[in-house]
Structure 1
Amino acid sequence: MRKYIGLVFLLGLILCITAACSSRESESAITLDDIVTKFREAGLEVEAPTESISEEHGFTNLGFKDVRHILVPALGEGEGGYLFLFEDKTDLEKLKDFYEEPGKSTLMPNSHAYAQDNILLQMSDQMSQTEFDRYVEVIKDL
């Protein structure tokens, strides 16, 4: 009888570990399009997400795996930000630092930036902190 109890316990433990690993894999499998969809579901303004970044920004070799340029028309024509997906945390932190340090760039002065796991959200300084926080909350809930 003890053998069976031990076997059932071991089997249960293996199933729990397998389930935990599966959930981690699904969490890391989130795409930028999934995040854009979540933004929309939360009632946030996101238009014309494109898979490109302006060459004038010089970000073509910064190590991100994927990018979406998102427009927020309420901020003005052409205003919005970027959503990045990285494989390397170091590359993510470099770009986040770039966006957060005022005066470091004439392209994106004082912009909002938030990083979680392998995701970086950057929005124009035309957006209020309160509105930016609404986008951040969506990412936090992923």
Structure 2
Amino acid sequence: LRGELLRDRPEQAAGFMDALVRAQAWARTNRPETAAVLASGYLPQPKPVIQRALTYTAAAHADALHHPDWHGESLDFRPYPYPSFTQELVRAMQDTVVDAPAGFLTGLDPATAHRELVDDALVTRSIARAGGWGAFGMHGTTRTEEIQA
């Protein structure tokens, strides 16, 4: 959310965040319906492709390549802005070649970037209102990002 919305209209900001978090909770339990909504103009992929991505099960695709430490989860909807994700994103941006000024990334500490850019207070309250961490399959505010290519 933009800083001025948080500052000037905190009730509207909270309402927006509550709605976004509730939508993610709904999407987690209504995957085929979510695919239909996303295919109706939000994503360019056809509905069957989106539905497969949202309802994927490892057992149904035993012939596919699988990482031994991953459990074949389908795409998920988790509203919390994990510091570990922000930090990995900053690291990836630092290693990405772009055709634009990127000097601001040089020397940028990923943990500092998260602390200075992300305020999780509003989303944490919205998560609590929507049933808490467990409603999203989460156990709290920390996790480990695992990226392998």
**TM-score scaled to structure 1, two decimals?**
0.29
Higher helix fraction (1 or 2): 2
Choose 1 or 2 for highest CA Rg: 1
Higher relative contact order structure (alpha carbons within 8 Å, sequence separation ≥ 6): 2
